[in-house]
Amino acid sequence: MRFSDEQKQELVTLYHNGESVSDIRLQNDVPRSTFYTWIKPYQTQVSPSGHIISTNEFIKMKQRLKKLEQKVEVLQKVECTVSSPLQDKLPELSKLYGQYSVHTLCDALCVARGTFYNHIFRRKEVTVYDKRREEMREHIQTVFDESRQRFGANKIAAVLSERGIKTTPKYVVELMREIGIESIVINSKKEYKKHLRFAKKQNHLQRQFQVSEPNRFWISDVTCFKINDKYQYVCMILDLFSRKIVAYGMSPKNSTYLITSTFKHAFKERGNPQQLTFHSDRGAQYTSNALRKLLRVNKVVQSFSKSGSPYDNAVAEAFFASMKKEELYRTIYKSARQFYESVDSYILFYNTERPHSTLNYKTPDKFELLYEEKKTSAI
């Protein structure tokens, strides 16, 4: 099967959280060599300021830094500022023409590239070679605009040839780089998918974990626990208003069915709530078509944590941490059934007996009961 970048990152995150490569690849049918190639781009380092940075992010940051350094160099060399009159900026930029790309020069002083080209073209000291390049830039820009930014160097060179303007694709590539243009075909699919991912996977929660009404924001997550060398998975759904576990499910497989069946149970038990948002991480089960369709049919808004950011779902992470420390790590389980019974017992205790600091030391059940009593008395 093919894995998306986000699915790859989810599996790598499991590895960084301590799960073995063998378990990950066997559960997801991934060759060992393939998985190790995934790990490298997502290897993270902690910066001196405490930020966690992946290899991919580091490369992008270096590229942005290089562009910014070039702009700073331009600003240090010119004898004017961004707020100076245009007639002062153009001569200064002309002095640096050829040392930096036109894109960098114009961005540094906020000058339109067309305006700068016109200025260069009008210079008395311009050579025949410079004039030829400027004329060719104009021709290339014209064809590029006529194609609505679709044509690359080969097609532009072909169109110019038909118009009697001789050139080569290599020369067109060079001038396109100077102008700062490229065919939208190169990145259009990538940008489109990026837009779709952003549109479909928005974070509606934004770490606002305090909610004023029940059944407005549910959060969900899955954890695993090894019993007799086999993993058992627990999915839970928690109402942020009362921190109550409104439904949970257990299975030896981390499947989409585990998520959908748990949600169906919660939705029914809570009376098919309206204006509900369901928040989770970007695991493959939470981004599955089956869950998306289920939420859409029930008019539930889906919300996602930012990729690689567990803090966006911190309440779910905190619940599982408490359950493991207060219950699961205290027993050596001999069977999956014993483990399931232990989870049942803890969640009942959590909802009905365990005071919660966020709820002013009320239990989730008590907190909801007080809300209903207050709501009834107000009527």
Domain boundaries, the chain: 217-378
Six-digit token string for 99: 């040392």
233 vs 119, 221, 248, 338, CA distance in Å?
68, 10, 11, 14
Split at pLDDT 50, 70, 90, the class of 121 is low
Least confident of 12-16, 147-151, 285-289, 291-295: 12-16
Tell me: pLDDT of 179 over 80: no
199 has pLDDT over 50: no
pLDDT, residue 209, reads 85
Question: Can you name the residues that pair with 219 across neighbouring β-strands?
Answer: 238, 279
pLDDT band of 122, cuts 50, 70, 90: low
Measured CA to CA in angstroms, residue 173 lies from 90, 153, 156, 167 at distances of 25, 5, 10, 11
| Helix (H/G/I), strand (E/B), else coil: 38 | helix
Q: pLDDT digit string (tens) for 33-91?
A: 777 777 766 555 545 555 555 555 665 677 678 888 888 998 999 889 888 888 889 88
Output the pLDDT for position 13. Answer: 76
Place of tokens 């605009």: 145
Q: Which CATH superfamily is domain 217-378 in?
A: Ribonuclease H-like superfamily/Ribonuclease H (3.30.420.10)
pLDDT at 252 over 80: yes
Task: Read off the pTM.
Answer: 0.51
- Tokens 């072909």 belong to 158
Asked if residue 14 has pLDDT above 80, the reply is: no
pLDDT, residue 185, reads: 67
**pLDDT-derived band of residue 195, with 50, 70 and 90 as boundaries?**
very low
Query: Residue 29 has what pLDDT?
Result: 78
- pLDDT of 82-116, one tens digit each? 888 888 898 888 888 877 778 888 889 999 888 88
Amino acid letter, 128:
V
